[in-house]
Amino acid sequence: MATKTVYEDCDILVVGGGMGGTGAAYEARYWGRDMKIIVAEKANIDRSGAVAQGLYAINCYMGTQWGENNPEDHVLYARNDLMGLVREDLAFDMARHVDSAVHKFEEWGLPFMKSAETGRYLREGKWQIMIHGESFKPIVADAARKSADKIYNRIMVTHLLMDEAQDNRVAGAVGFNCRTGDFHVFRAKAVIVAAGGASHIFKPRSVGEGMGRTWYAPWSSGSAYALSIQAGAKMTQMENRIVLARFKDGYGPVGAYFLHLKTYTQNAYGNEYETTWYEDTKEMVGEYIDHHPTPTCLRNHAFIQEVKAGRGPIYMVTKEAFQDPHLEEVGWENFLGMTVSQAVVWASQDIDPKYTNPELTTSEPYVMGSHATCSGAWCSGPEDLSPEEYFWGYNRMMTVDGLFGAGDAVGGTAHAFSSGSFTEGRLAAKAAVKYVKDLKAENINVTDKQVSDFKEEIYQPLENYKVGRNEIVSGTVSPSYLLPIQGLQRLEKAMDEYVGGTSVNYMTNDKLLERGIELLDIMEEDFEHLGAEDLHQLMRAWELKHRLLTSQSVAQHTLFREETRWPGYYYRGDHMKLDDENWHCLTLSRRDPETREWHMEKAPVYHIVD
Ligand code: SFD
Ligand code: AMP
């Protein structure tokens, strides 16, 4: 088709302008005064990514200036919550820099709540501080806009370009403008992937008219993983999908309620239930159940077991806290500034938490690298901290030369959240600038053929539709193409039933996974026949392909790890116990870009903090 091609040559390309991407753009300018810095973003950075609606808390702040916490404490916290397995070098590195990012947010105009007694940031919990964060995203976007040479909004990046002069070196990225249809070619000396996590790879609890409602942003399409995997980058801990306890139907987060409002849970009959499952959990995971705070997955486990035992629903007891008018206000504002739909669900279902305890639920699994979970790319750590196996020259560089990651894209750094993801963007950008300055990206060669092959591939779904639409047999059913929504539902169903989604109570086993992987492989063939009727559907088609690749990675990792490491996130029915003897390790995968074969291996966990 006749499509305009727009070329942009730059030093640093940031893919995705969310928390990690805006941090990267900001820091790249600081270190790379003369460099050309470009951001390519699928939506509009003012309201893109997981923070689009705003946030009510910054979940990762040490408060070292006031002696509240040290980075070491945060490493221990993340290690504990992830059942022993995080990249402690990356975690420490993020924690030692995160406070300075938070101070920047305040300088840029983000309103923070302050304690009337101490004047310090108001704590929600040990790590969380409270903000009036409805405009959090436009504020960080502004910093990125002032730093980058150019922000390209509405560009869905579909593939990374690879250098043809040197093996395993990135050379930029390609994508298309979701509004104009233009084809965009970014040739770059270094690329920072910060394209967020993945929702909608497992069937959501919300279906039909409510399908778009999920906890993690519905537009988080796994691009960070797919782009990296396609380029041959190694991934880690992709089995560590996360399930969240959330308010029912609106998926409103619970942190502010548990930590600040001091609300608590009970079963349908008004009883505390976590201790009921203590012995059962101990049998599965040993002494991890005695750790404080109780790891997120184990809190989920008790919830899931209690509901399975027939004593659901689980309620959040809000009636007591909401008698205090201040706490009542905080309770509502928490959603109005972050997850409006929860307030709307309550209003529409006659639930006033002052008089009715609202129900909680456990979400479908998501893939991310920044909450109580750490899936993502296997990246180098910083030179002063990382053991040999974790260090190959540049902080946050993946196993592909010149390719860096931040936020959800990076594996091993749990509990980074918004502030930690922004911080990781800064760290990645500093290293990427150094990579360019060290002349590591000299003589990059991208042939016209590589570019034109991608162009043909990217627009194929439009062609499929144009050619096949005359054969429509009924409604939207066509014998020759598949619509993105149909493909998405097929993917979500397979992931749900075979890889441990909600309808099977997060249970899977080797046989289910093997069959699931076969079905995903069939989808890979079928998705060559996706049909897109317009540019929006073309974006949907590529989001789906990225979700599929992310799903394949999750399934392969889940099959590889023969234990139930995180009960409450998922269960391997054939290996129902945590097995520290064989699996106190990180898992790694690499998909060969040529053969599409997956290669799995183990990597050691180094505990660098005592
Ligand atoms: O409590 C492409 N998060 C919270 N963090 C906090 O600090 N406090 C909270 O209160 C938080 N809560 C919360 C959170 C998230 C959500 C959805 C809710 C509540 C309802 C988590 C953070 O938001 C999260 O950790 C970070 O945002 C992760 O940062 P990053 O950069 O990894 O992802 P992003 O911000 O979503 O940005 C991704 C960007 O990439 C774009 N993109 N661009 C080009 N091409 C493609 N193919 C692309 N694919 C994606 C996206 O548009 C986006 O801009 S609480 O519940 O946890
Ligand atoms: P959430 O709102 O569930 O995403 O959680 C926000 C923050 O609060 C994260 O740092 C969570 O780890 C923490 N958190 C949520 N619930 C609890 C809990 N019951 N106990 C301790 N920490 C929690």
pLDDT at residue 1 greater than cutoff 60: no
Percent residues over pLDDT 90 in the chain: 97
pLDDT at residue 578 greater than cutoff 70: yes
Q: Give 201 Cα–ligand 1 centroid separation in angstroms.
A: 16
Look at phi and psi of residue 63 and say left if phi exceeds 0, alpha if psi is from -120 to 50, else beta.
Answer: left
Q: Give 49 Cα–ligand 1 centroid separation in angstroms.
A: 5
Average pLDDT for the chain: 97
Average pLDDT score over residue span 74-79:
98
CB atoms within 10 A of CB 502: 18
Confidence of residue 173 (pLDDT cuts 50, 70, 90): very high
Which residue, by CA, sits nearest to atom 22 of ligand 1?
418
- Indicate the pairing of strand 5-15 with strand 170-177: unpaired
Cα separation of 38 and 29, whole Å?
Answer: 10
Whether pTM > 0.75 for this model: the answer is yes
Whether 337 lines ligand 1, by a CB cut-off of 6 Å, is no
Q: Are 182 and 203 in contact (CB under 8 A)?
A: no
**The pLDDT value given to residue 471:** 86
CB atoms within 10 A of CB 352: 14
pLDDT at residue 605 greater than cutoff 60: yes
CA distances from 557 to 364, 514, 553 (A): 18, 12, 6
Average pLDDT score over residue span 471-495:
91
* CA-based nearest residue to 427, from 50, 93, 29: 93
Environment class of residue 276 by beta-carbon count within 10 Å: exposed (0-12), middle (13-18) or buried (19+)?
A: middle
* CA-based nearest residue to 342, from 246, 220, 265, 199: 246
**The pLDDT value given to residue 3:** 86
Contacts of 139 (CB under 8 A, 6+ apart): 105, 108, 109, 110
- Indicate the pairing of strand 235-236 with strand 55-58: unpaired
Which residue, by CA, sits nearest to atom 6 of ligand 2?
255
**The pLDDT value given to residue 161:** 98
- Indicate the pairing of strand 170-177 with strand 183-193: antiparallel
Cis peptide upstream of residue 479 (ω within 30 degrees of 0)? no
| Atom of ligand 1 lying closest to residue 195 CA | 40
Q: Are 84 and 580 in contact (CB under 8 A)?
A: yes
* CA-based nearest residue to 443, from 36, 166, 34: 166
Q: Give 220 Cα–ligand 1 centroid separation in angstroms.
A: 8
Pocket of ligand 2 (CB under 6 A): 59, 125, 127-128, 253-255, 258-259, 293, 296, 299, 372
First and final C-alpha spacing in the chain: 60
Which residue, by CA, sits nearest to atom 15 of ligand 2?
255
Q: Are 220 and 198 in contact (CB under 8 A)?
A: yes
Site of tokens 């690329």: 191
- In sequence order, the β-bridge partners of residue 588 are 236, 601
Percent residues over pLDDT 70 in the chain: 100
Confidence of residue 363 (pLDDT cuts 50, 70, 90): very high
Which residue, by CA, sits nearest to atom 33 of ligand 1?
196
Average pLDDT score over residue span 6-10:
98
Confidence of residue 481 (pLDDT cuts 50, 70, 90): very high
Whether 129 lines ligand 1, by a CB cut-off of 6 Å, is no
* CA-based nearest residue to 56, from 330, 377, 395, 446: 330
Q: What ligand has the least distance to the C-alpha of 48?
A: 1
SS3 of residue 245 by DSSP: strand
Best of 418, 544, 546 for a ligand 1 pocket test (most atoms within 8 Å of beta carbon): 418
Cα separation of 352 and 462, whole Å?
Answer: 48
Whether 373 lines ligand 1, by a CB cut-off of 6 Å, is no
Whether 223 lines ligand 1, by a CB cut-off of 6 Å, is yes
Confidence of residue 553 (pLDDT cuts 50, 70, 90): very high
Q: Are 151 and 45 in contact (CB under 8 A)?
A: yes
Q: Give 279 Cα–ligand 1 centroid separation in angstroms.
A: 36
**The pLDDT value given to residue 463:** 97
CB atoms within 10 A of CB 179: 12
pLDDT at residue 9 greater than cutoff 90: yes
Whether 253 lines ligand 1, by a CB cut-off of 6 Å, is yes
Q: Are 147 and 37 in contact (CB under 8 A)?
A: yes
Q: Give 297 Cα–ligand 2 centroid separation in angstroms.
A: 11
**The pLDDT value given to residue 226:** 98
Q: Give 254 Cα–ligand 2 centroid separation in angstroms.
A: 7
Confidence of residue 2 (pLDDT cuts 50, 70, 90): low
Which residue, by CA, sits nearest to atom 1 of ligand 2?
255
**The pLDDT value given to residue 249:** 95
Whether 254 lines ligand 1, by a CB cut-off of 6 Å, is no
Which residue, by CA, sits nearest to atom 11 of ligand 2?
255
**The pLDDT value given to residue 315:** 98
pLDDT by residue (tens digit) across 295-317? 999 999 999 999 999 999 999 99
CB atoms within 10 A of CB 347: 10
pLDDT by residue (tens digit) across 393-439? 999 999 999 999 999 999 999 999 999 999 999 999 999 999 999 99
